[in-house]
């Protein structure tokens, strides 16, 4: 009887491990963390916006039509002024979302670099010259959006699914 009990226990333990979602059992699963690096040779400080709670919203001009573009509507975000270079590791929440935006502090024009690694894999690496707002145009920013599991993206939003 003890032998049957051990056999059943082993089977239950194996089943629980398979259901637990261990990444080593199912490659390609949800990511654990993101490393974000912001740099600049022109600016000493930058505004840094981080959101892990946002929604995808269809363009109101074409809502419901095939191929309608989407944009990000932020539910909550943290905004701070950071010294450059800046680096932060962010653990993913249950939403498996990440939106990062950065731009120089004040009215300065500066070349800003942003690099994003998801679980050690580089997903974004770019430099961009960002200028201040001009007339009715908003401030130029650099941003990256990630959603695990695939979401529609509009032009100008960089992301992975």
Q: Would you give the DSSP letter of residue 140?
A: P
Region for residue 3 given its phi and psi (left: phi exceeds 0; alpha: psi -120 to 50; beta: otherwise): alpha
Domain identity same for 93 and 47: yes
Residue at 158 is within a domain: no
pLDDT at 149: 78
Spatial CB neighbours of 151, under 8 Å, sequence gap ≥ 6? 56, 70, 159, 161
What average pLDDT does range 149-158 have in this prediction? 49
Residue 122 has pLDDT above 50, yes or no: yes
Residue at 138 is within a domain: yes
List the domain range (segments joined by +) for residue 135: 31-147
User: How far from each other are the two terminal CA atoms of the chain, in whole angstroms?
Assistant: 50
Taking only the tens place, the pLDDT of each residue in 64-107 is 777 777 778 788 889 999 999 999 999 998 889 999 999 999 88
Domain identity same for 38 and 2: no
Q: How many domains does the chain have?
A: 2
In angstroms, the CA 133 to CA 128 distance is 15
Domain identity same for 39 and 15: no
For the ranges 7-16, 23-32, 54-63, 123-132, the one whose mean pLDDT is highest: 123-132
- Residue 111 · residue 66 · CB < 8 Å: no
Residue 96: Cβ within 10 Å count? 14
Please report which helix (H) or strand (E) contains residue 115, including its range.
Answer: strand 110-118
- Exposure pattern of 47-65 as b/e (b: 16+ CB <10 Å)? bbbbbbebebeeeeeeeee
In angstroms, the CA 112 to CA 104 distance is 8
Taking only the tens place, the pLDDT of each residue in 5-42 is 555 555 544 444 444 444 444 456 899 999 999 999 99
Residue at 16 is within a domain: yes
């Amino acid at each position: 009887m003890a032998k049957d009990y051990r056999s059943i226990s082993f089977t239950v333990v194996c089943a629980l491990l398979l259901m637990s979602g261990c990444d080593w059992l199912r490659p390609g699963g949800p990511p654990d963390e993101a490393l974000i690096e912001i740099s600049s040779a022109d600016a000493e400080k930058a505004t840094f916006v981080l959101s892990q709670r946002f929604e995808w919203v269809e363009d109101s001009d074409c809502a419901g039509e095939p191929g309608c573009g989407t944009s990000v509507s932020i539910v909550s975000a943290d905004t701070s002024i950071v010294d450059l270079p800046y680096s932060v590791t962010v653990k993913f929440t249950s939403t498996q979302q990440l939106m990062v935006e950065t731009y120089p502090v004040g009215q300065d024009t500066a070349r800003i670099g942003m690099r994003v690694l998801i679980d050690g894999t580089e997903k974004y690496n770019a430099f961009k010259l960002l200028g201040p707002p001009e007339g009715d145009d908003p401030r130029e920013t650099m941003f990256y959006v990630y959603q695990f599991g695939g979401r529609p993206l509009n032009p100008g939003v960089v992301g992975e699914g």
